[in-house]
Amino acid sequence: MSERKPVPQLFGRDLRSGDILLEWNAGSFVHQAIRLGQKVMHRGTEEIIHAGILFDNRYLIESDKNGISANDVYLQDKGYSFTVYRPKNSSIAAGAATCAKVFMDIHARTGGMPYSIGGAVSSIFRSPGSAPSASAMDAAFAELIKGKNHPFFCSQFVTFVFQFVAEQNNMVAGRMFPFADQAVPPSQLAAALKRHSMFVEAGYLLANQR
């Protein structure tokens, strides 16, 4: 039985569009609270407390206190460490990056996708549920385009984007992630990606090393 090869340290030049960045616990009060909840509820990789999608090799699109926004991994996010998961399918990767940017632009125009701290907390205690149907995702996207209010938290946003892009690539959302987006804390997303056949753990970024 072959041993699992260690993943490499990455730098900004190594990142690609569509990469999922999973942020490690940095020790703040909020991070510790998220970690504790995930640990108590056995919701996967407890040290992962945030998630976002790379638009290119510099800007991370994520749901944070500003809603859906882009942060520079060299500036706003330089003090954080991340595990990087990469889609094996280039169409899925490109679609996820584009979709995340579209949602960010919609939010900038309408303010319809604010951050949901209540959703982030409750996701830790929810049952996984089921992935949405194609018609449900199309209906949700139509509402988002119109600017209807649809709060997101970080890992919910990542899950929703990849499920939506899967449907656009003639793949059922449940094959991408078999759970409801609003029931996915960062720890569970991390655990799912670790064993996912459609993603590879590309490496890790260390804080202040870009």
Q: What is the pLDDT of residue 1?
A: 43
Place of tokens 């979709």: 99
pLDDT tens string 42-52: 666 768 999 99
Q: How confident is the model at residue 168 (pLDDT cuts 50, 70, 90)?
A: very high
Tell me the backbone φ, ψ of residue 75, rounded to 5 degrees: -120, -85
How far is residue 88's CA from residue 93's CA, in Å, rounded to a whole number? 8
pLDDT tens string 117-166: 889 888 888 888 999 999 999 999 899 988 889 999 999 999 999 999 99
Q: Say how many Å lie between the first and final Cα of the chain, rounded.
A: 35
Beta-sheet pairing, 20-24 with 59-64: unpaired
Average pLDDT over residues 48-63: 96
Other beta carbons within 10 angstroms of residue 154's beta carbon come to 25
Average pLDDT over residues 18-24: 97
- Angstrom distances, CA of residue 37 to CA of 30, 31, 118, 121, 193: 11, 10, 13, 8, 20
Q: What is the pLDDT of residue 127?
A: 87
Instruction: Please give the mean pLDDT across all residues of the chain.
Output: 90
pTM above 0.85?
A: yes
Q: What is the pLDDT of residue 109?
A: 94
Greater model confidence, 128 or 59: 59
Contact 23, 102 (CB under 8 A): no
Angle at 94 between CA 171 and CA 149, to 5 degrees: 75
Evaluate if residue 210 carries a pLDDT over 70: yes
Number of alpha carbons in the 13 Å side-chain half-sphere of residue 99: 25
Helix (H) or strand (E) holding 34: helix 29-40
Q: What is the pLDDT of residue 47?
A: 82
Other beta carbons within 10 angstroms of residue 90's beta carbon come to 11
